[in-house]
Each structure stands twice: as C-alpha cells, then as structure tokens.
Amino acid sequence: MENILITGGAGFIGSNIVEAMLARGYRVFVIDDMSSGRRENLEEMGSNPRMSFIRGSILDRALLRELIRSNGISLVCHQAARPSVAKSVKDPIGTTEVNITGTVTLFHVAAECGCRRIVFASSSSVYGDTPELPKREDMSFSPQSPYAVSKAAKELYGDVFSRLYGIEVIGLRYFNVYGRRQDPGSDYAAVIPKFISRALAGEPLPIEGDGLQTRDFSYIDDVVEANISALTREDLSGGVFNIACGSRINVLDLAKLILSITGSRSPIAWLPPRPGDVRDSLADIGSARKHLGFEPAYDIRSGLAETVRWYLLSGTAGQRRKATVAG
C-alpha cells in the first residue's frame, strides 16, 4: 500500500479524503497551515496510527522535500488553497501566492522526489460566465476573479508537469461541494452551510441578487470517491475532469428546499449581487464517467438531507436540537 500526502487535510474536503484513505488502509500524511483548516475535522482520525499531522505550509519547500523523501510518499492529493472568490477579490496577492506559487512548489518537489501521481483540486470557476451549458472540459478558460485565475493556472502547470517532469498530474474541477465538516461560521461560508445554519437557528437566509442564479452542487461523498478513483486507477496518466452532480438548481429554490428539509420558517433576506460571481453553472460529467468510473450517488435532496443530519448531530450549526429531517 502506497503512502499518501494530503495537503489541506484539516479542511472540509481534505479531512473527508483523509478519513476515506485511512479506511482503505493507506498511510496518510497531512500537511495544513491551519489558515482555514480546523483540528476538530481530524479528531475522529487522530488516534489512528497510520495518520501523521504536520502543521506547515506548501510554500515551505524544505519541509515538503523532507516530508516526501523521508516517508517514501508516492501519491499526493492536493487540496490546500486559499478558498473563496470574495476573499480573492479583496486580496489577489495572497490568493496568488498560496494557490499558484504554493502549487508549483508542491508539483516541483513531488516530481523531484519521485512521486508517482498528484491529484489536485481545481474549480468550475475556470469556465467563468459564458452562456453555453453544460460546461465541458474542452471549453476555453474565462475566469471572472483572481481565485478562478489561480485555478486555471494550476491546471496549466499540471499539464506542463505531466509532460515535462515525468509525474502524472490529474485535476478535478469541483462544482460547489457541500456536506459534513463544511464550516458555516466563516465570513466566506458557502451558500449551503450558511443556509442550513441560519434555517436551524430561525434566522433569515441571505440571497445575493435575484436568487435565479444556478449551481451544480456536489455532495462530499461523491467528491471523495472521485479523488480516490483519480488517485488509484491504473489506466490514468493525466487530464482534468468535471466533478459534479450533473444537474442544477437556482439559489432561491435551494433555499426553499433547505427550509422544507429543516422544517424552518426562516424568511429570505435579499442582498446586492456579489462581484465576480458566475450566473449559471452546470457540468457535463461524461468524461469523468468514462475515465474515472465516476457516478454521483446523491442528488441535491438526498445530499442536503444527509448534510442537515450531520449538522444536527454534530452541533456545528449551533446548539443541538431535535428536528425531523425529511429524506
């Protein structure tokens, strides 16, 4: 069984991948600078002797080199990033440093140390706001924010490293991932945890713009399975794949569905549109089906029901309370 390094492993997506790889018997090394990760995300796995946590940055070349070489790491799952479109608009330099310079540093060290494969997180934001739907991997980039530019740059570097440095680099374009361990308390919280936490507290659900903007939401378990396939399938050598449900819902209908599942009577609070936001998003997942064997197991209703249950049981959305969750 190969040893794997998971960057950003204390984050929402990363911690779920850590848990899944440990369950499959891998020796897992986690690196996270804790700028957005949380130690509690790894609490359930903390006693596992096959997991090691290192607090550090992907910008630290010496640390990465020592970590990979001394532990014989052959697989890298790269989830570390400065997230959020809004944060990138406020601080484009910080986003560029972590998402681009950090990624190139990791790619270079991994190739230098003889790693076999890197799977990294990209984003549907690279498509921008072009009207053609669904989005296909062969479409041109049209980023609308520094965050989206940084994800496009990661893909370009991934292609170059695959061709020039003898390492397999595979990108996964996530479409609006949600599920357990997603933090609703962040200033840059994604729409689903924000809606769920407010619905459970009886607070207004904030909608930016007219609420008719659409998204293709991906439940965390489906995203984890896509990463496992990309890390472990023998017949892959590179490329980028859309990872999504393959269907879309507008934000207003999403809010209504969450209110229905939680049984909440929270009102809607209307806010101005957000700068750099994409109007519509829908993925063509045919390539992921073909090459990764990817098949989403959750639609938006079943994924939301699982997510609400987790927030209630964990107390993440506030104090625990009894509630009936419609499946």
Which active-site residues does the annotation give?
147
**Which of 285, 223, 281 has its CA nearest to residue 248?**
281
**Which of 177, 293, 155 has its CA nearest to residue 245?**
177
**Which of 312, 326, 305, 229 has its CA nearest to residue 24?**
229
CB 98, CB 70: distance < 8 Å: no
- Characterize the bridge pairing of strands 249-250 and 214-215: antiparallel
Please enumerate in sequence order all residues whose Cβ is within 8 A of that of 5, keeping only pairs 6 or more positions apart, or say none.
29, 30, 31, 67, 68, 71, 73, 75, 76, 77
- Distance from C-alpha of 43 to C-alpha of 166, rounded to nearest angstrom: 36
CA-based end-to-end distance of the chain: 37
Q: Which two tokens stand for residue 175?
A: 């479409």
- Distance from C-alpha of 244 to C-alpha of 172, rounded to nearest angstrom: 10
- Distance from C-alpha of 214 to C-alpha of 281, rounded to nearest angstrom: 6
Q: To 5 degrees, how large is the angle CA 142–CA 254–CA 228?
A: 65
Q: To 5 degrees, how large is the angle CA 216–CA 239–CA 218?
A: 20
Q: Which two tokens stand for residue 112?
A: 């230098």
Give the torsion through C-alpha atoms of 323, 250, 142, 131, to 10 deg.
Answer: 160
Please enumerate in sequence order all residues whose Cβ is within 8 A of that of 70, keeping only pairs 6 or more positions apart, or say none.
none
